Amino acid sequence: MNLEYFIAKRLNGAASYKSSASSTIIKIAIIAIALGMVTMLVAIATTLGLQGEIREKVSAFSGDILVSNFDGNNSEETVNPVSIHQDFYPNFEAVPEVTHVQAIAAKSGIIRTATDFEGVMVKGLGNDYDWSRIEEYIVQGRKPNFGEEALGTGTLISTYLANRLGFEMGDKVIVYFINKESGRPVPLRLDIVGMYESAYQEFDKVYLMADIRHIRRINKWNDGEIGAFEIFVNDFDNVNQIKNKVYQNSGSTLRAMSVLERSPDIFNWIQLFDFNLYLIIAVMIIVAGINMIVALLVLILERTQMIGVLKALGGSDWSIRKVFLYNSFYVIGVGLFWGNLIGLGLLLVQKYFGLITLNPATYYVKEAPVYLNLGHVLILNIGVVLLCLLMMLIPSYIITKISPSKSIRFE
């Protein structure tokens, strides 16, 4: 123990590095570990944040699972209505993972102004609609009061459509639908009471929301008929398995489709982020490990004479190797401290101030989202320490090959 303490005292601490020729290498190793940690923290937090933000946004506007008629129609517009009188509505007791069920209907139409026109999809909603999922995206006005006794004309339109067509709060919007029997247009007059901005362009460019009873009237449906059911679940990671349970516990004429199946392009795209994340982590750990190996080799070569003397005094190979590993742990610890401090600081600034912006047309968000999880940070730090120390075992093995008689004469 006294021998190890003597070696540690000679090697450990910033003072010994300052007077050592290896100080530059040690500093480079610390900087490499710090920069690697910053890069990994930012990559993990922003990747998981972007995946989660896109997933939640798509689900909020489309539902986790859609239950509709099994009629081969894959368009957003409902052709054949579904009876609202189902065993699973309004509470899906047979599948406990289901948290909410809401009835919707959609119909395509055209908005025409004095100078322009635009194809849109009117999404009909009722008093069972869960506004808490999209309320944060309402940037002007208020949410419409659907499902009241008197049929309201309020509508929620996206800022994209409003700007494109020149609408403002309180304006009237006339949507024209085509009567399939007569081929004549059927107008629907709506009043803009609110505007939303989700940055989910596939929705913002097309949808405006109105009372579901308007869709029933235009389609000549009965009061108990709707277009489909949107279902939300408590575990999105298992949405496909829950979808199978929903299908088994719904009517034989109904089908169930998860949001992963309905929007495969988006979810396949965000899954590609995982590969980039793993690649960044692997490269950063390898770079940090190589820098640590170089630093340890330089330190060993610089202390070759001292190692020879200690061996001649009876020091074992392992006791000497342990001290070099202890010093490697010290260097790793310093690098991780600064890496965590800088990395978490940058992420907190982005989380609360949103300095880095993104193109919503490409990334579906306006600001780079950040997801911070203490468990992920701890696992990353522990993993870096263990992997770097394992990589240190190989260069430290050189100590066993140093001969006391030759190393004492080494210069």
Write down the pLDDT at residue 255.
92
Structural contact between residues 8 and 329, judged by C-beta atoms closer than 8 angstroms: no
Alpha-carbon gap, residue 294 to 375, rounded angstroms: 31
Looking at residue 15, its pLDDT comes to 38
The residue type found at 347 is: L
d(CA 291, CA 388): 10
Would you state the pLDDT for residue 14? 38
pLDDT digits (tens, 9 = 90+) for 23-50: 788 888 899 999 999 999 999 999 999 9
Which residues of the chain carry a pLDDT beneath 50? 1, 13-19
Distance of alpha carbon 82 from alpha carbon 70, whole angstroms: 10
Answering whether pTM is above 0.95, one says no
For 49, half-sphere exposure in the C-beta direction (CA atoms, 13 angstrom radius) is 20
Distance in Å from the first CA to the final CA of the chain? 28
Torsion angle (degrees, nearest 10) of CA 272, 273, 279, 285: -160
- CB count in 10 Å sphere of residue 401: 7
Could you tell me if 303 and 320 are in contact, meaning their C-beta atoms sit under 8 angstroms apart? Answer: no
Angle subtended at Cα 112 by Cα 196 and Cα 81, rounded to the nearest 5 degrees = 70
Question: Can you tell me the distance from the alpha carbon of 302 to that of 20, in angstroms, rounded to the nearest whole number?
Answer: 9
- Cβ atoms of residues 128 and 104 within 8 Å: no
Sort 275 into a burial class: Cβ within 10 Å, 0-12 / 13-18 / 19+.
Answer: exposed
Q: Which residues contact 259 (CB under 8 A, 6 or more apart)?
A: 58, 59, 62, 63, 64, 65, 66, 239, 267
